Amino acid sequence: MTDDAADLMPPEAELALAWSGQKVRGPLSMALQLDRRLARIVARTSEPMLGQMRLAWWRDALGTPLADRPRGDAVLDGLGAHWAGRESALIALVDGWEQVLEEPPLSERAARLFGEGRCAALLAVYDKTPEDTSDPGALYAAAWHWSFADFAARVSREEERALLVRLGLGLGNGHPALRLPREARGLAVLGALGLRALQRGGRPLMEGRGAPVAALRAAIFGR
């Protein structure tokens, strides 16, 4: 049910990983690779039930004890190495992607649940949840901006893109979050690029000459 090769990361993800410390680089890389794998499942699914079956495979695999999981898939093996004991956040990511399998156009409820699932996985990279982190606004807003911006740039329906942009800008009133801690500079890069893309109407995150500047500013200043 899976492909055995790890997916190539888009340039914004590579930048985020480059600015991440050694402790979080592995978990962040694997979370982003799982996200891309799930995105590919959804993009290639014409029949929702088939997509749900493939997503269920991932949900079941992540819920299986590490010693009993199938071996040989680069992403699943990497998750076992970097995410043991924290799989609930990854299952939330799977659940989030399942929301967008509904018949188009995408509903606001489904879009919100999708964003929440993606945010849960990103925050878990830093061993945080929206409830227990000392500054949920900064971390969660960065994750939220990236989650919606990245998806908005992929959809083909203008009404869905408009919905994703509106929801993405709705957190923090479309303004940069407070400064993120040093260990979360990779997330700061994703959040800054996501916010910029949303403000440009859902354009690709690395489009335009200003994208590298925004990424560098976020990496240095954490916002």
Q: Positive or negative CA dihedral for 2, 205, 219, 209?
A: positive
Cβ atoms of 52 and 98 closer than 8 Å: yes
In this predicted structure, what is the pLDDT of residue 173? 60
How far, in Å, CA of 99 to CA of 110, rounded? Answer: 5
| The pair of three-digit structure tokens given for residue 89, joined into one six-digit string | 């956040």
Six token digits for residue 206: 């690395």
Question: What dihedral do alpha carbons 170, 145, 100, 80 form, nearest 10°?
Answer: -140
Query: Do 18 and 29 touch, CB atoms closer than 8 A?
Result: no
Tokens encoding 200: 């440009």
User: What's the pLDDT at 137?
Assistant: 80
Contact 90, 76 (CB under 8 A): no
Q: How many CB atoms lie within 10 A of CB 203?
A: 18
State in Å, rounded, how far the first CA of the chain is from the last one: 39
pLDDT tens string, the chain, 223 residues long: the values are 455 455 689 999 999 999 999 999 999 999 999 999 999 999 999 899 999 999 999 999 999 999 999 999 999 999 999 999 999 999 999 999 999 998 889 999 999 999 999 999 999 999 987 655 445 588 999 999 999 999 999 999 999 999 999 999 998 665 566 788 889 999 999 999 999 999 999 999 999 999 999 999 999 998 7
AA identity, residue 128: K
pLDDT of residue 133: 44
Nearest-angstrom CA–CA distance, 140 and 68: 33
Give the pair of three-digit tokens for residue 164: 């994703």
Percent helix, strand, coil in the chain, to 5, is: 70, 0, 30
The number of residues making up the chain comes to 223
Q: Which two tokens stand for residue 123?
A: 């925050």
